Amino acid sequence: MERKVRVRFAPSPTGGLHIGGVRTALYNYLIAKRNNGTMILRIEDTDQTRYVEGAEEYIKEALEWVGIKLDESPWHGGAFAPYRQSERKHLYKEYALKLVEDGNAYYAFDTEEEWNEKRKELEAAGIVAPQYNGITRLQMKNSLTLGEEEVKRKLAAGEPYVIRLKIPKKEEISVHDLIRGWVTFHSPLLDDKVLLKSDGMPTYHLANVVDDYLMQISHVIRGEEWLPSAPIHVLLYQFLGWKEVMPQFAHLPLIMNPDGNGKLSKRYADQLGFPVFPLQWTNPEKQETMMGYREEGYFPEVMVNFLVLLGWNAGTEQEIFSMEQLIEAFTIEKIGKSGAKFDINKAKWFNHQYLKAKPNEELATYLLEEAKKQQVSLSKEKAEKVVAILKERITFVKDFLTEGKYLFEAPQTFDEQIAGKKWNQPLVDVLNAYKSALQNHEGAFDAHTAKDLLNKTTDSLGIKFGSVMQGVRLAITGSGTGADLMETIAYLGTEEVGKRIDFSVNNLKVVA
């Protein structure tokens, strides 16, 4: 029987969710939706020392922003509640005890100091990075070395202990990964991971496997950094008798720094001035604020589109994908094995593509919001015109106000280089004559009329239209480049253009 697809995104609330985490959530979501499955979010907060205030709310908001809808979660509930591991604490111990009972795990009574001592001793003897493993466990205080009576006595006396997984000696542990195929691990290289801590809390490994089992997870889709944990998980499924229902694994390729060196780091991103968080995040302890894609002006659809392509491609030329199209097209088989280089310019390119494809009315609403924030007064009607004139040229909504500054206020300064080259007497003559033509114009005025009048003006003066275009632009906008000039003139209107011509003619010096 085909197994029902149930996938989970299982973040730990230890800070702002990195964009790599958003990509993991997105891949899970796409697999769920494509297969009419269920998307689950589980908060993995067993390590209370790393818990960060506000991180859970941040995760929720970030996923909502990009449009990942959860079917089951701490906030939505579901048949397998609770979805926070700290609220499931009572569930885990019995599995740890079963593992002990079956001889697959053991009690360890060593204190941290005792293990540190041992480690130093081993290091002094030339062992690099000593582990609590098949060899060293025989030299420690645990239920494999102490007599049964002694163990019972210690337990009865309430001495602190942890439960460790008993990694089999010399075995090959094979993990089947949907992206990488079979990956084999040698058991002597693995350490006897702690499963249950002395405070009774499970560690990641135990809680993760128990919950994936209890929540009937069909696919574990997570970052490559978890691949080394996979053999531990496979052993746990085997020891707990759950091999038959073990989820399928898919470990996603890393997102790399733009130069391909190492995993995308905040430090590197800071240097290049781009965010690694979907939303702005303020660390509650340090009160340090980190930039977010949303606040930088990226659209949520862009976030989805560029993140999905970091590690996956449809195998076609298509680059622009809506969430619906991705749900159609996304398959695990097309996820790559090698790390994907992060490219912020590509993200910007996507933002530009999405921006220019949006209806003017929608863009005008965003522009009005932005204008309000920046205390620029603008009517709805004007906003719609501004977006129509500029949308082909800009990347972010906020650029309307900077790139299109000349649409909101008359230039006070002029590009000197261009003025030095173009500001000659014939141009000034054209401008003065054009001003009169504009003043005398009656009736509707649009880009077409603006052009027609300029054409007539240059013709009557016997000057080539093309030779004055940049000068006219300079007079009206202060710069040598910008949106379509005739559209700009039509937008500003005859009166404003007349004023601007006067100001430039009075302020710029004619070159010989």
**Cα–Cα separations (whole angstroms), residue 267 to 257, 271, 274, 290, 426:** 10, 6, 10, 11, 55
Among 166, 222, 352, 391, binds ligand GLU (CB under 6 A): 222
Q: By CB under 6 A, is residue 226 in contact with ligand GLU?
A: yes
Q: How far is the CB of 152 from ligand GLU (least distance, A)?
A: 35
375's tokens: 């205390």
249's tokens: 């694994």
Segment near ligand GLU (CB under 6 A); pick from 7-15, 192-200, 300-308, 491-499: 7-15
Q: By CB under 6 A, is residue 203 in contact with ligand GLU?
A: no
Contacts 24+ apart (CB under 8 A), 271-279: 272/344, 274/344, 274/347, 275/19, 276/18, 276/19, 277/16, 277/17, 277/18, 277/19, 277/62, 278/17, 278/19, 278/22, 278/62, 278/65, 278/66, 278/303, 279/16, 279/58, 279/61, 279/62, 279/65
Q: By CB under 6 A, is residue 12 in contact with ligand GLU?
A: yes
Q: How far is the CB of 398 from ligand GLU (least distance, A)?
A: 33
Segment near ligand GLU (CB under 6 A); pick from 9-17, 103-111, 166-174, 280-288: 9-17
Residues 390-449 that bind ligand GLU (CB under 6 A): none
Q: By CB under 6 A, is residue 237 in contact with ligand GLU?
A: no
Q: By CB under 6 A, is residue 11 in contact with ligand GLU?
A: yes
Q: Supply the DSSP symbol for 507.
A: H
**CB within 8 A of 460, min separation 6: which ones?**
433
Please tell me which residue in 243, 266, 337, 372 is annotated as part of the active site: 266
Q: How far is the CB of 234 from ligand GLU (least distance, A)?
A: 13
Per-residue string for binding with ligand GLU, 156-195, x by CB under 6 A?
----------------------------------------
Q: How far is the CB of 266 from ligand GLU (least distance, A)?
A: 16
Q: Which amino acid is at 475?
A: A
Q: By CB under 6 A, is residue 247 in contact with ligand GLU?
A: no
Q: Supply the DSSP symbol for 243.
A: G
Residue 278 contacts residue 65 (beta carbons within 8 Å): yes
Q: By CB under 6 A, is residue 141 in contact with ligand GLU?
A: no
Q: How far is the CB of 45 from ligand GLU (least distance, A)?
A: 9
The Cα–Cα gap between 27 and 116 comes to 41
Active site residue 405: no
Helix (H), strand (E) at residue 455: helix 447-461
Segment near ligand GLU (CB under 6 A); pick from 6-14, 68-76, 302-310, 423-431: 6-14
Size of the site for ligand GLU (CB under 6 A): 7
Q: Which amino acid is at 85?
A: Q
Residues 28-87 that bind ligand GLU (CB under 6 A): 44
**Cα–Cα separations (whole angstroms), residue 104 to 153, 163, 172, 189:** 21, 10, 16, 17
Q: How far is the CB of 362 from ligand GLU (least distance, A)?
A: 36
The Cα–Cα gap between 379 and 497 comes to 19
Active site residues: 266
Site for ligand GLU, rule CB under 6 A: 10-12, 44, 208, 222, 226
